[in-house]
Amino acid sequence: MLIRTKSRVWKWEGNGAWHFATLDPKTAKAVKQTQEGKKRIGRGSVPVVVTLGETSWRTSVFPDTKRASYLLPLKAAVRKKEGIAEGDTVALSLQL
């Protein structure tokens, strides 16, 4: 399943420089539906292949009960290559 969406980049307030994109409610619902009946792994993480600009990589989206969504971690190397900073809105493709 291929999902295209947009999300705003934000920086985690804890230790480190972790940056994330929170999936919009429609996208989060689609991700959740693909997991119904499947054995949960890694605290409910869902493996994905992400494409952002010219960069693609394998990662996972992680459930976030506080936001009732999923979080996509954005690696520093990807942010640097694509010129992405906190507060930017990015177009993403997620292959589940």
DSSP readout, 15-73? SS--EEEEPPHHHHHHHHHHTTTSPP-GGG-EEEEEEETTEEEEEEEEEETTTTEEEEE
**Domain of residue 16, CATH code:** 2.40.30.100
Structure tokens at 50: 């992400």
Report whether 34 contacts 23 (CB < 8 A): no
Q: Is the pTM above the cut of 0.75?
A: yes
Please state the rounded mean pLDDT for residues 55-63. Answer: 96
Asked if residue 43 has pLDDT above 80, the reply is: no
pLDDT at residue 14, rounded to an integer: 78
Domain boundaries, position 33: 2-95
pLDDT in tens, 2-13: 999 999 999 998
The average confidence (pLDDT) of the chain is 91
How many domains are contained in the chain? 1
Report whether 5 contacts 23 (CB < 8 A): yes
